[in-house]
Amino acid sequence: MKRIFLLLTFMLSFLQLRADEGMWLLTMIKRLNGVDYKKEGLKLTPEEIYSVNNSSLKDAIVQFGGGCTGEIVSKEGLLFTNHHCGYGQIAALSTPEKDHLTNGFWAMKKSEEIPAKGLSVRFMIRMDDVSQRINAKLNNNMSAEERKNIIDAEYKAIQTENSENGKYTVVVKDFYNGNEFYYFVYQDFKDVRLVGTPPNALGKFGGDTDNWEWPRHTVDFSVFRVYADANGNPAEYSTNNVPMKPKHALPISLKGYQPGDFAMILGYPGRTNRFLTSYGIEQMVKKDYPAWVEASKLAMDVMKKYMDKDQATKLHYASQYASVANYWKNRQGTIDAVEKNQTIAGKRALEEKYKIWAVMPGNEETYGSVLDDIRANYQQMSDRNVERNYSQQLQRNAKYIMVAYQLGSLFKTYADQDDAGKTAMKTKVTDAIDKVYDTFNPSLEGEMLNSMVELYQHKVNKEVASATLLKADSKTLSTLAFESIFANKESALNFVNNPDRLKIDADPLRKLANGFVEDQKLLGEKFSKIDDAFAKNSRIFLDGLRKSQPDKAFYPDANSTMRLTGGTIDTLPERTDRNYHGIAEKDNYYTDTKGMVAKYKKGDEEFDLPKRFLDLVAKKDFGPYKDKKGYMPVNFLSNNDITGGNSGSPVLDANGSLIGLAFDGNSEALSGDIIFDQKWQKTINVDVRMVLWTIEKYGKAGHLISEMTLVK
């Protein structure tokens, strides 16, 4: 603990890279030298950003639901995140009669806040570097299995040492392709309740058309509250729980911003591959991502067909559709950006310099052939990687396969019990059935199964394909599913009431699912040695890359751990085909409600607006939230370095006050997960003043504002 504190006293003193590049672990910034964040405008001390012993900014930041970020904004545990981060929960809490997704929702008192089943938030307590401890027991001559066994044993020991008998969740992760290791101590709160959300027309304004595009006009936020037991500890949902008392809540600034103003983001970026070789990028954009795009688009078309017919289906599949659509556009955009920005050529130029260093005396034995070895690995894995992409989309979207596999195993165990055992298990089994089928449309899923398997059969090289799927008649799979035990909730419950082990074993859908899963295991075993060699070569390459540039500060790839990125409010370079909707090109760092109304199309699924919103804007009833120039801000740009997982992250000013919520990137830089483009890479944020205006003026929930600390 003491060592962490001493290291952090130097934190943020120096930077080598421009402030807008890099996703830095909070204990890692001590490595940097060059440009001072203080000179960029930061007014906080290191201890105010990260402290183990005292409250700091990191205590207000949470990992939201495992895939987004959120921030605490009141001493009563009130939490902001993006609308699209809360989308699944909002949809799950909606019904055709109480459609919170479409109409919005605002709890006027705490007793009206709705428990979000299965949702949790994670606070980071502390972290530390255990690289020396683990690396002391490893060497490059070990087999992959030997290395894994040692690392796993150390992970377990570190978790035991720091969990305080289960009070905390301890996660150990590798960085720099396995060259360094850090552990993170977390506290998870599982009673999280929906407090408020704008209607979908605001929270998702612009839909797929505006996704990844600037200028943007999306009111992308939602409000939740974290609850704890009477002693302030995490607890399962209970009516006796009380709003948690956070160590720190972010103050909220109403001052606005100008280009060049310092902006900092703390959050949980999901995954980047900035050290990917040119061979990896080529495989990605020419083979892997095209497979992803094609399979995703097919799945979206099937979902949309049934969602348009029925409101309940639309609600049940809203989150899945939005997620698939988001990545569909992201992957296609990445392909386009890599080609446009000549990313592969740039990587190859860097690799040629690396090769010169790698064959120098003392380097050649370890590093001399590693790039050639990686290239050979990709040649061996190419078709298998394509199969993985089609397979992943099939598993994600064709639910009948995973339902038959997972419920089938549970049903089999249930059928094998004696009467007492069945009685003991029955609630567990029926709960599992409810979880699966309450949002399940059999007709949609039948067509999805047919379509996704047929695509797989036509597109995957037979040498690496699932033999089970290749043999299946894709035209009749839906019929097979409809005749199965797993066809729908009624047939599944009927089995529970009349369990028959022989019927389970003979079920054709279960046979298909089991065969597919077994085929995937066999494929994994077939390629395991190549995968192990690739992991080793990637680790050695990155070790060499860092040693070849000893004066450069290397930030680690994102891996869902808390990171800091600094930057400034910024504009996008001019583009002749862009419509700024009344904003001068020199001022394109923000959008306002005028531009939102300019995009308005009555009755359009993506660009319709609620009448109440239009009336408030027409009256210019903006209260204290309008900019000093008179406009009502909606979104703004900064040049912070983020990726998926940063959605919902707080954008903070030089004093650590909240000015916005990060929610998107721009299409020009969709290759950002593999290379940072200094010119084009931006972050699109929803202005916190629009958040507060929507809560108070549109939602009439001003009582929530009274909980917050506003900086005017």
Q: Which residues are catalytic?
A: 84, 220, 647
CA dihedral 578, 582, 583, 586 (to 10 degrees): 70
- Non-local CB neighbours of 29 within 8 Å, separated by 6+ positions: 11, 12, 15, 564
* Cα–Cα distance measured from residue 514 to residue 557, given in angstroms and rounded to the nearest whole number: 36
110 burial type by CB count under 10 A (0-12 exposed, 13-18 middle, 19+ buried): middle
* Cα–Cα distance measured from residue 712 to residue 705, given in angstroms and rounded to the nearest whole number: 13
**Cβ contact 4:126 at 8 Å:** yes
Backbone dihedral region of 676: left (phi > 0), alpha (psi from -120 to 50 degrees) or beta? Answer: beta
- Non-local CB neighbours of 612 within 8 Å, separated by 6+ positions: 698
Q: Supply angle C-alpha 467, 471, 476, rounded to 5.
A: 140
What is the residue whose two structure tokens read 């990844």? 212
For residue 374, give the H/E element and its range: helix 370-397
Strand partners, 80: 71, 223
**Cβ contact 19:67 at 8 Å:** no
For residue 305, give the H/E element and its range: helix 289-307
- If DSSP codes are grouped into helix, strand and coil, which group holds residue 78? strand
The one-character DSSP state at 53 is S
CA-wise closest residue to 70 among 499, 662, 516, 682: 662
506 burial type by CB count under 10 A (0-12 exposed, 13-18 middle, 19+ buried): exposed
- What 438-443 contacts at long range (C-beta under 8 Å, 24+ apart), as own/partner pairs, is 438/489, 439/92, 439/316, 439/317, 440/316, 440/399, 440/403, 440/488, 440/489, 441/306, 441/310, 441/313, 441/316, 441/317, 442/481, 442/482, 442/487, 442/488, 443/306
Residue 633 dihedral angles phi and psi, to the nearest 5°: -70, 150
Side-chain half-sphere of 18: how many Cα atoms within 13 Å?
12
Q: Which residues of 226-255 are buried (b: 16+ CB within 10 A; e: fewer)?
A: bbbeeeeebbeeeeebbbbebebbbbbbbe
- If DSSP codes are grouped into helix, strand and coil, which group holds residue 64? strand
Strand partners, 173: 182
- Non-local CB neighbours of 549 within 8 Å, separated by 6+ positions: none
* Cα–Cα distance measured from residue 330 to residue 313, given in angstroms and rounded to the nearest whole number: 25
**Cβ contact 566:638 at 8 Å:** no
* Cα–Cα distance measured from residue 250 to residue 256, given in angstroms and rounded to the nearest whole number: 16
**Cβ contact 328:212 at 8 Å:** no
Return the structure tokens found at 523: 């494929």
Dihedral sign for Cα 627, 656, 28, 62, please.
negative
